[in-house]
Amino acid sequence: MKGETVSIHPLAVVSSRARIGNEVSIGAFCIVEDDVTIGDGCRLETRVSIKKGTQIGENNHIFDGAVLGGWPQHLGCHDSCGDVVIGCGNIIRENVTIHSAMHEGESTVIGNDCMLMVNAHVAHDCRIDDNVIMANNVMIAGHVSVGRRANLSGGVGVHQFCRIGSYAMVGAQGHIIQDVPPYMTVDGLTSKIVGLNQIGLRRAGFTTEDIKQLKDVYRIIYHSKLSWRDILHTLEEQFTSGPALEMARFLATTTRQIIRERRSAPEKPELKIHNDSEEDVVKFRTNVG
């Protein structure tokens, strides 16, 4: 079923069982399989593959070589699998891959207004909330959730079943093996927490009072030396509203524990320069970190 004013390049292959909305553009060498739904106003550039059962909302722009709905990369997936559900207004850049959920009736979900940059990978059964940015070569393993307005820099790798909270910022090449609480910044070099994502919070409209509340929460979590049980109890008692409440709920439901704080700056590497004339070694401290 095709809507009105659909533009399909003659070199594209589009199943007659696909449901195509109005004002959709499908470029050369694209493949749209059976039971795919593409909403109004979507644009597919060249070589885009939309696999069976994938559902795409309105006004998404999908660039060259992207594969949406691919078979899960899991040895336990045999006869059938789930699908991919993508919201509206997303930008999905070149060679992005988003894999279907492992089991029939389940979905890998991408929200609205996200930007997935070149070569980003979202594995089976992930849930990506609205306004998330993933830079080039981000790798998201299976069953990961990413909260709204989180920002993952280039080359970040996320272990399966981890959660990244809303408004979190993960630095380039960070490796995430535990949960990242909401509103936090992770240093890519050490993969440790280095404070609140204050720039991101202010850009998102958080007030000075909101940020002050989150600083109080941060001190309780990372500087109070309370036990984990006492931290949760203190947060539950002291914060019943505002952004701190989301933080408390996130911490109360973690199963992988949370990333630790980087307590000191990383040691600055040394450059050893050999002086042939004097046959000695001169050491220089760099300004990295």
For 106, counting Cβ atoms within 10 Å of its Cβ (0-12 exposed, 13-18 middle, 19+ buried), the class is middle
Q: What is the pTM of this model?
A: 0.88
From the DSSP assignment, how many helices (H) and strands (E) are in the chain? Answer: 4, 30
Q: Provide the residue range defining the domain that includes 113.
A: 7-197
Domain count, the chain: 1
What percent of the chain has a predicted confidence (pLDDT) above 90?
Answer: 84
Between 76 and 150, whose confidence is greater?
150
Strands 31-32 and 13-14 turn out to be parallel
Would you say residue 61 lies in a domain?
yes
Tell me which residue of 11, 30, 8, 9 sits closest to 21, measured CA to CA: 8
What is the pLDDT, as a whole number, of residue 265?
A: 59
Would you say residue 182 lies in a domain?
yes
Q: Give per-residue burial for 77-91: e unless 16+ CB within 10 Å, then b.
A: beeebbbbbbbbbbe
Would you say residue 181 lies in a domain?
yes
Per the residue annotation, which of 65, 70, 142, 147 is the catalytic one?
Answer: 142
CA dist 66 and 97 (Å) reads 6
Q: How confident is the model at residue 269 (pLDDT cuts 50, 70, 90)?
A: low
For 237, counting Cβ atoms within 10 Å of its Cβ (0-12 exposed, 13-18 middle, 19+ buried), the class is exposed
What is the pLDDT, as a whole number, of residue 282?
A: 46
Active site residue 125: yes
For residue 118, what are the CA distances in angstroms to 20, 110, 115, 125? 25, 16, 10, 21
pLDDT higher than threshold 60 for residue 273: no
Residue 22: CATH number of its domain: 2.160.10.10
Would you say residue 2 lies in a domain?
no
Average pLDDT, rounded, for the chain = 91
Per the residue annotation, which of 124, 129, 174, 179 is the catalytic one?
Answer: 124
Per the residue annotation, which of 125, 129, 179, 187 is the catalytic one?
Answer: 125
